Amino acid sequence: MQKVLHINPDKCTGCLQCEMACSYENYGVFAPAKSRIKVFDFHETGKKVPSTCTQCDEAWCLHACPVEAITKNKVTGAMEVNESTCVGCKVCTIACPFGTINYVQETGKVQKCDLCGGDPACASACPTGAITYVDANWTGLDKMKQWADKLGNQPSAT
Amino acid sequence: MSWAGKILRVNLTSGTVKSEPLNMQWAREYIGSRGLGSKYLVDEVDPKVDPLSADNKIIWATGPLTGTMASTGGRYTVITKSPLTGAIACSNSGGYWGAELKMAGWDMIIFEGKSPTPVYLSIVDGDAELKDASDLWGQSVWKTEGELKSRHQDPLLRVCSIGKAGENQVLYAAVVNDLHRAAGRSGVGAVMGSKNLKAIAVRGTIGVGNIRDPKGFMQVTAEKKKILAENGVTGQGLPAYGTQVLMNVINEVGGLPTRNHRDVQFEGAKDISAEAMVTPRESDGKKHLVTNQACFGCTIACGRISKIDEGHFSVKNKPEYWGANGGLEYEAAWALGAANGVNDLEALQYANLICNEEGFDPISFGATIGAVMELYEIGALTKEQIGIDAKFGSAEALCQFADMTASGEGFGKEIGQGSKRLTAKYGHPDLSMSVKGQEFPAYDGRVIQGIGLAYATSNRGACHLRGYTIASEVLGIPVKTEPADSEGKPELVKAFQDATASFDSSGLCVFTTFAWGLADLAPQLQAACDESYTTEELEKIGERIWNMEREFNNAAGFTAKDDNLPKRLLTEAAKTGPGKGSVSKLAEMLPKYYDVRGWDPEGRPTADTKKRLGL
């Protein structure tokens, strides 16, 4: 069963535990500046919205890469960057409609979410359940359940 | 490790910025943040220095757990000599700024001297320089942050700054970061203003990567987060209602100081409570509270984000205040509300916004307004002198006072001096509800005996955060003690004061102590820093810090006489509630407290005590 990261912005408090977990997993440091998931704080509305790669099936980044440095991990479904092949041309960063693949000056390569090989650190670190790692076919399960509860789980009239 | 090992020393007079290694022996002995920053201040600054002179220094300090995945690890402290109290000032803030400084590779910044013209400090990792801030002078905290982000073309920049209050040296001006988090008390913002220092803009990309035992640290911090999540206060009460959960609770125990401490219960408490913030308004059907918000690394998330009623008189035709913004915490809601008899939640929020926008402490401001309203009522101040009708309960007066204090115009200039100076000027010094010149927070020391003693002995003047005995006396954490009892309170106050000093120095938030004790902090510090940080060692370090602060104050000229409460709390009995008829039993508790502390009858640490603590 393939799983995907599922984000519920309504539950996000803006604590950035996810960003620290990401940088720690990938670089061994607590540094939101190196994180592949970013939380945006929209001050005027009070909304906090985590954003990261959704692992498109027909990935723009993968198709744009001139050296085939981005490949799909068949087990996790993640689009992964092969750092030894990547030449740092940044074309993928232009191709991605969501901005979730980015260049890293320090390495001269691009980086993106690779689902930590199937156990994403951001989801484990999230204290509120705003970021979860769920069955790819059932990202809507929680919402469906909420509505099912509203529609059919009330005391009946008779 | 987990300390960055570097401090930045900025001489504002000469305009020089240089890097220094952190004194690692002191780091070991004083941990970081409050303790370590205070050690540097005590070592470098004459306790008798004029706080607003170039000879005073001001220090921004993070702790070893700041910028880590330990829950609430985002805090920093501003340490200086306070212009409000003349005592050591140490104001703690959350938000994201402190972690950013640590991520840039710095434990601390020490500012000395005074810049001839307005400047701000720009830090990008290892590069730090002073830049001209002439065009930012006169701008609010909010405008300053926006302007610096656009000037540096960096939306990820973190900024702490002063607004007009700090520039005008309002004696309780705050340093504000991330728009609405503040190192709020004791006038640290006024010291910043006196040095012509407008802001510190930081971008840190290096991160914190020198945890002593990374695997152990990840494991123990995860375990401790679980304790916070499962605790009723930190897991449910605080995220849902914020600190405002206390408004009705404290009113019910009869410990909610009202109308300048004349009363101990406020008939309007429910109108300004957490419950009111989540109830749809009559005016527009919307809730005041929008959401909660965490500071950096915090898994509690007690912060409030609110939206003011657009139709309220205070913000009519002022759309800049209509968006979601920093909401009322309990202390602010009390000081702006109950302390003045004002029960208009929207007016409180307006005053709170102005406090954030122009950078001043809502506790001292609100409590000073309480004193002004009492002076007005007894005729010691007139409408002609103040410029407005300042009756207790007037929401209009509260909002106008906030504007006047922010701009420093008219009577606002006098309000900016705090209640001690203001009441003395108008012939009624007894009406200042303060200790060492700093106004009380939101708990009545007549009815809740331990907190009265904690106020009287706090090293930064009246303060609930130096020894929050309310946890025990009202909430029963870690064990319930009776608010009315004075017996056992000296020991309780000491234990809270010492433990808090260690928590404050670690870089974590004191609100974790609703669920954690030093035994929970110790393994996190051990994994991050040094195995020697046992529970016993942290108790001793806390006590060392407390005594170091005390020695600074004693050398500054404070004596046992200053460990006092206003006459009102000692002689005017509580009129209503469970504590009706009671006054503070400070005279009973204080000698015992000195004894437990190992101080002489004059409140001076004895030679033995100092030796035991390595001072």
A44 touches chain B (CB under 8 A): yes
**Dist CA A73 CA A93 (whole Å):** 20
Q: Mean pLDDT over residues B66-85, rounded?
A: 98
pLDDT digits (tens, 9 = 90+) for B378-417: 999 999 999 999 999 999 999 999 999 999 999 999 999 9
State the DSSP string of B464-531.
SSS--THHHHTT-SSS---TT--TTHHHHHHHHHHHHHHHHHHTS-GGGGGT--HHHHHHHHHHHT-T
**pLDDT at residue B244, rounded to an integer:** 97
User: B38-52, pLDDT tens digit by residue?
Assistant: 999 999 999 999 999
- Candidate from B69, B203, B293 with C-beta closest to A14: B293
Q: What is the pLDDT of residues B567-580, one digit of tens each?
A: 999 999 999 999 99
Torsion angles phi and psi, residue A117, rounded to 5: 70, 15
pLDDT classification of A158: cutoffs 50, 70, 90 = low
In tens, the pLDDT along A35-79 reads 999 999 999 999 999 999 999 999 999 999 999 999 999 999 999
Residue A154 has pLDDT above 90, yes or no: no
Q: Is the pLDDT score of A157 beyond 80?
A: no
Cis amide bond preceding B83, omega within 30:
no
pLDDT in tens, B123-157: 999 999 999 999 999 999 999 999 999 999 999 99
Mean pLDDT, chain B, as a whole number?
Answer: 98
CB contact under 8 A, A23 and B207: yes
Cross-chain residue pair A13–B290, CB shorter than 8 Å: no
Could you tell me the pLDDT band of residue B282, with boundaries at 50, 70 and 90? Answer: very high
Residues of A in contact with B62 (CB under 8 A): none
Residue A156's pLDDT band, with cuts at 50, 70 and 90, is confident
| pLDDT-derived band at B218, boundaries 50, 70, 90 | very high
**How many angstroms separate the CA atoms of B77 and B508, rounded?**
11
Share of chain B above pLDDT 70, in %: 100
* pLDDT tens digits, B180-211: 999 999 999 999 999 999 999 999 999 999 99
Sheet holding B58-62, edge to edge: B16-21, B6-11, B108-112, B58-62, B76-81, B88-93
pLDDT at A155: 81
Judged by a CB distance cut-off of 8 A, whether residue B94 touches chain A is: no
Q: What is the mean pLDDT of residues B320-331?
A: 97
Q: Which pLDDT does position B267 carry in this prediction?
A: 98
For the stretch A114-146, pLDDT in tens is: 999 999 999 999 999 999 999 999 999 999 999
Give the gap in angstroms from C-alpha B205 to the nearest C-alpha of chain A. 5
- B324 close contact with A: CB closer than 8 A: yes
Asked if B209 and A30 come within 8 Å (Cβ–Cβ), the reply is yes
> Does residue B271 have a pLDDT over 80?
yes
| B235-259 pLDDT per residue, tens | 999 999 999 999 999 999 999 999 9
pLDDT confidence band for A1 (50 / 70 / 90): confident
Nearest CA to B613 out of B7, B77, B35, B46 is that of B35
